[in-house]
A and B are shown apart, each in its own frame.
Chain A
Amino acid sequence: MLPATRIVELLLIEDSAADVRLTQEALGEAGADVNIHVVPDGAAALQFLRHQPPYVDAVRPDLILLDLNLPGIDGREVLKQVRHDKSLARIPVLVLSSSTAPEDVNGAYDLCANCYLTKPLHFNEYIRLFRDIDQFWLRTARLPERGT
């Protein structure tokens, strides 16, 4: 187990304020050492990642948590654009979705998501999910260097 050498910048792309709060609580209970940045939809996510207004001073995230079901620009489109952009392509993207449909799972991996996670029903499971994310992505896996 490798100690995290710095605080991880996490970009959470999620339109539901309820789910945002749940994620924050669960990450807190899991003891993850992260700065959580939240954007409410796909358009804002791309602006954040490209340092476009109103996110001109945004930090480059180490890890992205992406809800597939977003209003306007769909989560899949965001994933596609991130993977197409050389300066963003390396950032690990964890897809979060309430759908278990094979088309959705396969589709996400086809677009090169790093993994597909299903939003659980119970809060305890939420905590366990984020504990697992923290354990694997923040303490076991090595994250790439932030690009420019």
Chain B
Amino acid sequence: MLVGHPVDAAAEHVLSPSRDATLLRVLVIDDSESDAELILRMLRREGWRVVPRRIDTAEQMRAALHDCPWDLLLVDYRIPGFGAFEALAVYKEFGVDVPFLIVSGSIGEETAIKALKAGVHDFFLKDSMARFPIAVRRELEEAETRRRKRAAEDRLRRQADELAAKNRELETYAAKLRQSNTELEHFAYIASHDLSEPLRSIAAYCELLVQRYRIGALKPQDADEFVGYIEQGVDRMQNLINGLLSYSRVIHAEAAPAQVAPHEVLAGVVSSLAKNIDETGAVITYGNLPVVRGDAMQLAQIFQNLLSNAIKYRKAGERPHVTITASVRDGEAEFLVSDNGIGIAPEHWERVFVIFKRLHNQETYPGLGLGLSVTKRLVERHGGRIWVNSTPAVGSTFYFTLPLGTRSHPDGWVI
């Protein structure tokens, strides 16, 4: 009897070995019916329930291998028109692993060795078949072992792949977390640093006021000036705190990506800047702009920041002219916001996007230094980039890219 190992359910998918351990599906490739019958009788005598098919051409073999699973292939070495090596070739075409045994009238030693090297499992001479049944049993067991091993390897490989995929996911999250932590540290440092400046001013002037007052040396115009500085400090802290809050909100804002028409967004932005535009006589020009994938409100913020900067940093005594154009390249829309303002020197082109870094003092151009850092975050959240090119005293052009059409954003907006 065949050793009755319980067949592992998972191993079944590799091939379908017969569940009944006594069932033996034998494909006999022999042109002699009687020779075939002899061998099958031998197998039946050993206790197997033999289900045979006899074939003798390549097409029949292909058909047989295609039709159903087999447990054993018995091949006569010399069939006119279809030899054992041809049969082996067909067998290999199908990539199955079933014992392939040659049973032949005569076979030279060299041929036998060649056959074994080619992948034949064993060979027998028709007139000395004594060890045939034992050999069949052995080959069936070994085939089963190989099946189980392959199944186990497949399982392992699948698990390894899943693990690798999970690791990659984890690494992505870890990287995001690291970046988020760095930003948080940076943010906290900047917040505390930039808030302590006006606080110091407030504290010092309160003390100075009180001191002078107590010794009766406080002149009214000095009092006014000192109180003025205190109020300035308070305003500055207030503005900074509000600015930081809105910056933080922008970074964490949920956004709903959709198809957005920039010219519609711009129309809204221009009307919200109406007062500024009137006061300065600003001229805003824009033409056809490509539809982008993004959040309409955030796009409005981007344009609002860039346009209000262009108007604010205008040349004294000149109408600010701002032009918005765009081009399409590599599935991205590249926007240009050009102005005729005071410009930015090359050494500052990167600094302008850093939070709180300003190029001018509060008296000439009041501001917090938040606008461009917020704009940069918004553009980057859309998967785009932002940069500037400028000639001092001539003007500046801000470039930013936004995705067109179907492209998924790193944050997971699947489009």
- Asked if A98 is an interface residue, CB under 8 A from chain B, the answer is yes
Q: What residues of B have a CB within 8 angstroms of the CB of A123 in the complex?
A: 203-205, 207-208, 211
How many B residues touch the partner, as a band? 20 to 34
Interface centre among A16, A18, A40, A41 (most CB of B within 10 A): A18
In the complex, are the beta carbons of A18 and B359 less than 8 A apart? Answer: no
Q: Tell me, rounded to whole Å, the shortest Cβ–Cβ distance linking A117 to chain B.
A: 14
Q: Which of B53-61, B115-123, B194-202, B323-331 contacts A (4 or more CB under 8 A)?
A: B194-202
Q: How far is the CA of A58 from the CA of B53 in the complex (A)?
A: 113
User: Judging by beta carbons under 8 Å apart, are B197 and A72 in contact?
Assistant: no
The reply to whether A18 and B208 contact each other, CB–CB distance below 8 Å, is no
The answer on a CB contact under 8 Å between B363 and A22 is no
Contact B196 A126 (CB under 8 A): no
Q: How far is the CB of A74 from chain B (nearest CB, A)?
A: 9
Shortest beta-carbon distance from A67 to chain B in Å: 10
Q: A25-B208, A123-B204 are in contact. Are A15 and B361 (CB under 8 A)?
A: yes
Does any Cβ of A come within 8 Å of B91's Cβ?
Answer: no
Q: Does B360 contact A (CB under 8 A)?
A: yes
**What residues of chain B lie closer than 8 Å to A6, measured between beta carbons?**
none
Complex formed: what's the CA distance from A18 to B232 in Å?
9
Q: Are A22 and B205 interface neighbours, CB within 8 A?
A: yes
**DSSP majority for the A interface?**
loop
Contact: A99 with B203, CB < 8 Å? no
B348 closest partner in A (C-beta): A72
Q: Is A139 an interface residue, CB under 8 A from the partner? A: no
The verdict on A19 contacting chain B, using a C-beta distance below 8 Å, is yes
Point out the residue from B197, B199, B204, B232 that lies within 8 Å of A22, measured CB to CB.
Answer: B204
Q: Which residues of chain B have C-beta atoms less than 8 A from A98's C-beta?
A: 193, 196-197, 200
Q: How far is the CA of A41 from the CA of B365 in the complex (A)?
A: 13
Please name all residues of chain B whose beta carbon is closer than 8 Å to the beta carbon of A71 when the two chains form the complex.
358-361
B196: chain A residues at CB < 8 Å are 98
Check B207–A40 contact: CB distance below 8 A: no
A54 to B293 alpha-carbon distance, docked (Å): 51
Q: Complex formed: what's the CA distance from A27 to B362 in Å? A: 24
Residue A124, interface by CB 8 Å: yes
- CB neighbours of A2 from chain B (8 A): none
Whole-angstrom CA separation of A21 from B359 in the bound complex: 22
A137 to B105 Cα, complex, angstroms: 116
Contact A122 B201 (CB under 8 A): no
Q: Do A119 and B200 touch (CB < 8 A)?
A: yes
With an 8 A cutoff between CB atoms, is A17 at the interface? yes
Smallest Cβ distance from A54 to chain B, in angstroms? 15
CB contact list, A129-147 vs B, under 8 A:
none
Please give the distance in Å from B313's CB to the nearest CB on chain A.
13
Q: Considering the chains assembled together, what is the distance between the CA atoms of A86 and B354 in angstroms?
A: 33
> In whole angstroms, how far apart are the Cα atoms of A32 and B385 in the complex?
53
Q: For the complex, what is the distance from the CA of A122 to the CA of B227, rounded to whole Å?
A: 16
Among residues 61 to 82 in chain B, which have CB atoms less than 8 Å away from a CB atom of chain A? none
Within 8 A of B (CB), among A101-139: 119-124, 126
Given contacts A22-B208, A25-B208, A71-B360, contact A121 B200 (CB under 8 A): yes
Residue numbers in A under 8 Å from B205 (CB-CB): 18, 22, 123
Q: Are B204 and A126 in contact (CB under 8 A)?
A: yes
Beyond the given A18-B205, A41-B361, A124-B207, please list 16 additional residue pairs across the A-B interface where CB-CB is below 8 A: A16-B197, A17-B229, A18-B232, A19-B201, A21-B226, A71-B360, A71-B361, A72-B348, A99-B193, A119-B200, A122-B203, A122-B204, A123-B203, A123-B205, A123-B207, A124-B211
A-B residue pairs in contact (CB < 8 Å), sample of 16: A15-B362, A16-B197, A16-B362, A17-B229, A21-B225, A21-B229, A71-B358, A71-B359, A71-B361, A72-B359, A98-B196, A98-B200, A99-B193, A121-B203, A122-B203, A123-B203
Which B residues fall within an 8 A CB radius of A?
193, 196-197, 199-201, 203-205, 207-208, 211, 225-226, 229, 232-233, 348, 358-363
The 10 closest A-B pairs by CB, nearest first: A123-B207, A18-B229, A123-B204, A123-B208, A18-B201, A15-B361, A71-B358, A72-B359, A71-B361, A121-B203
